[in-house]
Structure 1
Amino acid sequence: MQNTNMFDNITTAAVITSVIDIIIVWYVFYLLFTVMRGTKAIQLIKGIFLILVGRAVSNFFDLTTTTELFDTVLEWGFLAIIVIFQPELRRALEQLGRGSLFKGAPAGAGTDYDQMREAIIKSVRYMAKRRIGALIVFEKGTGLKEYTETGITIDANITAELLINIFIPNTPLHDGAMIISGDKINSAASYLPLSDSSKIAKSLGTRHRAAVGISEVTDAFTVIVSEETGSISVTYGGKLDKELTLEELDELLKKHWSVLPGVKEGGGMFARK
Structure 2
Amino acid sequence: MPKWGELIDFSPVAALINIVDVLLVWFVFYQLIKIIKGTKAVQLLKGIFVIIIVRVLTDVFSLDTLRFLMDQVLPFGFLAIIIIFQPELRRALEQLGRGRLFARTNLQEDDERERLMGAIIKSVSYMAKRRIGALISIEKETGLSEYIETGIPLHADITSELLINIFIPNTPLHDGAVILQKNQIAAAGCYLPLSESSFISKELGTRHRAAIGLSEVTDAITIIVSEETGAVSITATGDLDRNLSMEEFEARLRRVWFGSAPEQVDHSIWKWRRKNG
TM-score, normalised relative to structure 1: 0.54
The alpha-carbon deviation at position 199 of structure 1 amounts to 1.3
**Structure with higher RCO (Cα < 8 A, 6+ apart):** 1
Q: How does 1:149-160 map to 2 (within 5 A)?
A: 149-160=149-160
In the alignment, what sits opposite 1:131?
A: 131
State the alpha-carbon separation in 2 of the partners of residues 115 and 143 from structure 1: 22
Structure 1: any 5+ residue segments left out of the alignment?
A: 1-105, 259-273
Instruction: Find the aligned partners of 1:137 and 1:245 in 2 and give their Cα distance.
Output: 19
CA distance in 2, matches of 1:237, 1:253: 13
Measured in 2, the distance between the counterparts of 1:202 and 1:163 equals 28
Does 1:111 pair with 2:111? yes
Q: Deviations over 1:230-256 (max 9, x none)?
A: 000011111111001111111122222
Q: How many residues align?
A: 153
Separation of aligned partners in 1, 2:257 and 2:137 = 10
| Aligned 1:116-195 pairs, distance under 5 A | 116-195=116-195
Query: Which residue in 2 is equivalent to 1:237?
Result: 237
Identity of aligned residues (%): 61
The superposition leaves residues 196-223 of structure 1 with CA deviations (integer Å, 9 ceiling, x where unpaired) of: 1111111110000000000000010110
Alpha-carbon separation, structure 1, partners of 2:135 and 2:184: 16
Q: Please tell me the residue identity of whatever aligns with 2:173.
A: L
Distance in 1 (CA, whole Å) between partners of 2:121 and 2:187 is 19
Equivalent residue letter for 1:140: K
Task: Find the counterpart in structure 1 of residue 75 from structure 2.
Answer: none
Partner residue, 2:220: 220
| C-alpha distance in structure 1 between counterparts of 2:142 and 2:112, whole Å | 23
Which residue identity lines up with residue 170 of structure 1 in the other structure?
N
- Any idea what the Cα deviations from partners look like across 1:64-88, whole Å, max 9, x if unmatched? xxxxxxxxxxxxxxxxxxxxxxxxx
Cα distance in 2, alignment partners of residues 248 and 169 from structure 1: 26
**C-alpha separation between the residues in 1 aligned to 2:228 and 2:174?**
15
- 2: distance between equivalents of 1:254 and 1:236? 12
Letter in 1 for 2:114: D
* Counterpart-to-counterpart distance in 2, 1:252 and 1:180: 17
Q: List per-residue Cα deviations over 1:94-149 (Å, max 9, x = no partner).
A: xxxxxxxxxxxx9x622221121011000000000000000000000100000000
1:37 aligned partner: none
- Matches for 1:31-46 after TM superposition, within 5 Å: none
Question: What is the match of residue 198 of structure 2?
Answer: 198
Residue type of the partner of 2:219?
Answer: D
5+ long unaligned stretches in structure 2: 1-105, 259-277
Q: Secondary structure at the match of 1:247?
A: helix
The one-letter code sitting in structure 2 at the alignment partner of 1:199 is F
What letter corresponds to residue 211 of structure 2 in structure 1? Answer: A
Specify whether residues 136 and 226 from structure 1 end up closer, same or farther in structure 2 by C-alpha distance, changes over 3 A only. Answer: same
Q: Read off the aligned partner of 2:140 and give its amino acid letter.
A: K
Instruction: Specify the SS of the correspondent of 1:257.
Output: helix
Structure 1 residue 174, shift from structure 2 partner: 0.3
Tell me: CA distance 1:248–1:109, structure 2 relative to 1, closer, same or farther (3 Å). farther
Partner secondary structure for residue 227 of structure 1: coil
Instruction: Report runs of 4+ in structure 1 exceeding 6 Å deviation.
Output: none
Pairwise CA distance, 1:175: 0.1
Structure index of larger Rg = 2
Q: What residue identity is the alignment partner of 1:229?
A: T
Cα 1:175–1:210, aligned 2, differ >3 Å: closer, same or farther?
same
User: Secondary structure of 2:243's match?
Assistant: coil
